[in-house]
Structure 1
Amino acid sequence: MNITQEKTGNLNAVVKIKIAPADYTGKVDKAIKDQAKKAQLPGFRKGMVPPAHIKRMYGKSILVEEVNNLLNDTLSNYIAEQKLEILGQPLPAINERDFKWDNTDEFEFDYELGLAPAFDVNISSKDKFTQYVIKADKETLESRIKNIRRSYGKMSNPEVSAEDDVLYTELTELASDGSVLEGGVASTATIRLDQIKDKKILKSLVGLKKDDEVTIDIQKALEDAAILAKALNISEEAASELKSNFKLVVKNVNRLEESDLNQEFFDKLFGEGTVTDEAGFREKITEEVEGMFKQDAERKLSNDIYEDLLKKHTFELPDEFLRRWLKATNEKLTDEELAEGYDDFAKNLKWTLIENKIIKDNSIEIKYEDVVAAAKAKLDAQFRMYSPSPLPEDQLAQYAVQFLQDKENANRTFEEVKALKTFEQIKSIVTLEEKAIDYDKFIELDKK
């Protein structure tokens, strides 16, 4: 066997593999004998089919398979031995050679490679970034307090509806003249008034009593097609095309009363005796809210670093090869989609190369326990959206293991840990300047 490499550009190469009969004959003969032992053919007992008979019937297909296996193994081993850093996968070059496939052929195959560029990551303390410390504004804080108090409150049925109530209703589709549409949509639905953004519609639903009727533009009221589809028990497609007004009849009004700020409430939230008054309660909620804001600040810092390093490191990629590789591996990808999406693909690939370089240069390890810890943190944050009380550690660990059994979840979490460790390394080198900022000002800044 003979394998050679020819550079065809700074970031492109062709690997030529020549295979002689001596390289594949033994593998083909073994495969034929193995198949003869397992074959069940008319006129022969199982395992007693002569290898010559198998060769006559299936010899060519076995030869093709064994040559392909040999090629794949040879190419993979060559790339590993030569320590070639390739992008994408090797692409077989189109050639006009006509092989006989009769066990006497000398085969020659060419594979095109896209090579990763060589570069150094330049980071120092001269690189300065702003690390925002976001403070909870009054509106966000009061909204969080209200939601928590309602979560632990009691349900009541007031006579008249208010803005935060839930209406149990009957909805009936109307014709253009205001009459009930024959064969139209009719459904019972629960409508949360705090989900209605249109102020005029919201006003029409406040102050209603049981059996009151109003006519509303239901699509404008609920806006989201998924919520509308669920309310009317129809498909999202039908919900998005709906134009009719609906008659709404109130069947019941529910209200979730806010829990009193007493010791029983504080103990349920934070454990017995941890908080003893409203001031302590507000302090705890402020810590929780600003802890959530910290994630927003970290996301912005990471994005600022990401954009800065990409701007500083302007190495090239084997773009033409990568475009052909994307087309070869995505049959449904159109030329238009490739043209529109390639720049984003190349940007993400460049960041991956920078990330991998940082990991390699600094011998950063990503351990299984790191991935489990990240999964636990993610699940804990999700549960805390519904209750400030943490899950027991053993239960959280069990959920994390179950979460990571899904391959997609495991891969995504691994990549998140990899990114986190990369940014931690970068932040340990660059200069971070802390700056306090109110949440509303941060949101404005983040939109720019």
Structure 2
Amino acid sequence: MNITQEKTGNLNAVVKIKIAPADYTGKVDKAIKDQAKKAQLPGFRKGMVPASHIKRMYGKSILVEEVNNLLNDTLSNYIAEQKLEILGQPLPKMDDSRDFKWDNTDDFEFDYELGLAPAFDVNISSKDKFTQYVIKADKETLETRIKNIRRSYGKMSNPEASAEGDVLYADLVQLGADGSVFEGGITNTATLRLDQVTDKNILKSLTGLKKDDVVTIDIQKAFGDAAVIAKALNISEGDAAELKSNFQLTVKNVNRLEESDLNQEFFDKLFGEGTVTDEAGFREKITEEVEGMFKQDAERKLSNDIYEQLLAKHNFDLPDEFLRRWLKATNEKLTDEELAEGYDDFAKNLKWTLIENKIIRDNNIEIKYEDVVAAAKAKLDAQFRMYSPSPLPEDQLAQYAVQFLQDKENANRTFEEVKALKTFEQIKSIVTLEDKSIDYDKFVALAEKK
């Protein structure tokens, strides 16, 4: 066997692999004998099929498979031994002039194109400056969060008349253009949340309603959301988006979720017994929680600023033509238009991955299993806290994390998140971060500009 590499450009190469019969004959013979032992063919007992019979029937396909296996192993080993950092995967070069007999006497020669990663240094220092925003909880956001938490721990009541924020349990009947009931039209009994009504006039018409009251509403105008309308009428979102009819709404019941009292029982449910003893302590805890969520927003902006600035600073080339052909070869449904539209974003993300990997290698950063488990626990804890500030017991959270990571996709995604986090932590330990306090609404406006 002979393998050589020829540079065809700064970031491109062709690997030539030559295989003689001596390289594959032994593997083919062994594969034929193994199949003969397992084969079940009419006229032969299991395991007693002659190897010559298997060779006559399946010899060519076995040869093709073994040569392919040999090629893949040889190419993978060569790339590893030569420490080649490739992008994408090797692409076989098609050569119609080569005509193989596939009869165990061929000298094979195959060529593979490689896209090579560029060599570059990551240049980061304290001269690189970034703003680290400290977002303060505004009164409106704080009051909304407090209201939601109190309602989550509140109790359901059935007031005589509806008010904003209530839930109507009602019959909905489709009406025709003349206002009469549309025969064969849509009917459904639904739970309608008044906080989802976006039209102020319709919302006003739905407040003050009592059991058995009847009103007519333009359901499209009322909610303006195909998913909400589809759920209310038990139809598809596609049909809901096209619906133009008015509906007769008959109230069957009014439900109201009363806010929990700010008492010790409520505080203990949220934070554990005796942790908070008064309203001031409760508000302080909620402020910490809200500003903690804001901190995540600030971290995302800082990471994005670092991402954009370092990409602009490290402007290296990629083997673009090779990568375009590789993307087409590995994504059969990818059209030329989609490739043209999406390639720049693909290349940008690939460049960042190369920068990220370089930082990981240069600084000997390790990503351990316990790091991934900790990240999974933090993610799940944050999800549970969306519904309740009180934390899950540590043993239960650990159990959920292990179950979460048993899914390969979840595990890979979490690994990449830990990798990104460690990369950004390394960068932040070098660059200069300048703290700046900012109100939440101003931060949102700033982030939207980007």
- Deviation of the 1:223 alpha carbon: 2.5
- Deviation of the 1:133 alpha carbon: 0.4
Q: Any idea what SS the aligned residue of 1:390 has?
A: coil
Unaligned runs of 5+ in 1: none
Deviates more, 1:260-269 or 1:321-330: 260-269
Query: Which one-letter code corresponds to 1:27 in the other structure?
Result: K
Q: Deviations over 1:202-235 (max 9, x none)?
A: 1121111111111112123222222221211112
Q: Which residue of 2 aligns with 1:207?
A: 208
Q: Any idea what SS the aligned residue of 1:255 has?
A: strand
Residue 383 in 1 paired to residue 390 in 2? no
Q: Which residue of 2 aligns with 1:363?
A: 364
Query: Which one-letter code corresponds to 1:350 in the other structure?
Result: K
2: CA distance between counterparts of 1:252 and 1:137?
36
2: CA distance between counterparts of 1:62 and 1:281?
72
Give the CA RMSD over aligned residues.
Answer: 0.9
2: CA distance between counterparts of 1:267 and 1:52?
80
How many residue pairs get aligned? The number is 448
Q: Which residue of 2 aligns with 1:338?
A: 339
Query: Which one-letter code corresponds to 2:54 in the other structure?
Result: I
**1:221-232 equivalences in 2 (<5 Å):** 221-232=222-233
Q: Which residue of 2 aligns with 1:92?
A: 92
Residue 348 in 1 paired to residue 349 in 2? yes
Deviates more, 1:268-277 or 1:388-397: 268-277
Query: Which one-letter code corresponds to 1:72 in the other structure?
Result: N
2: CA distance between counterparts of 1:416 and 1:221?
40
Q: Which residue of 2 aligns with 1:22?
A: 22
Question: If the length of structure 2 is used for normalisation, what is the TM-score?
Answer: 0.98
2: CA distance between counterparts of 1:177 and 1:262?
54
2: CA distance between counterparts of 1:231 and 1:397?
38
1: CA distance between counterparts of 2:182 and 2:64?
67
Q: Which residue of 1 aligns with 2:271?
A: 270
- Deviation of the 1:122 alpha carbon: 0.7
Q: Which residue of 2 aligns with 1:260?
A: 261
Q: Deviations over 1:400-436 (max 9, x none)?
A: 1111111111111111101000000000000000000
2: CA distance between counterparts of 1:196 and 1:295?
30
Residue 71 in 1 paired to residue 41 in 2? no
**1:137-152 equivalences in 2 (<5 Å):** 137-152=138-153
- Deviation of the 1:242 alpha carbon: 1.4
Q: Deviations over 1:225-268 (max 9, x none)?
A: 22221211112222222121111111111111111111221121
2: CA distance between counterparts of 1:269 and 1:61?
67
2: CA distance between counterparts of 1:291 and 1:121?
32
Q: Any idea what SS the aligned residue of 1:209 has?
A: coil
Unaligned runs of 5+ in 2: none
Query: Which one-letter code corresponds to 2:25 in the other structure?
Result: T
Q: Which residue of 2 aligns with 1:318?
A: 319
1: CA distance between counterparts of 2:196 and 2:418?
35
Q: Deviations over 1:62-121 (max 9, x none)?
A: 111110000000000000000000000000001011101111000000000000000011
2: CA distance between counterparts of 1:184 and 1:220?
19
2: CA distance between counterparts of 1:375 and 1:92?
40
**1:81-230 equivalences in 2 (<5 Å):** 81-96=81-96, 97-230=98-231
Q: Which residue of 2 aligns with 1:405?
A: 406
Question: If the length of structure 1 is used for normalisation, what is the TM-score?
Answer: 0.99
2: CA distance between counterparts of 1:86 and 1:348?
16
Q: Which residue of 1 aligns with 2:242?
A: 241
1: CA distance between counterparts of 2:394 and 2:272?
15
Residue 288 in 1 paired to residue 292 in 2? no
Query: Which one-letter code corresponds to 1:151 in the other structure?
Result: S
**1:291-302 equivalences in 2 (<5 Å):** 291-302=292-303
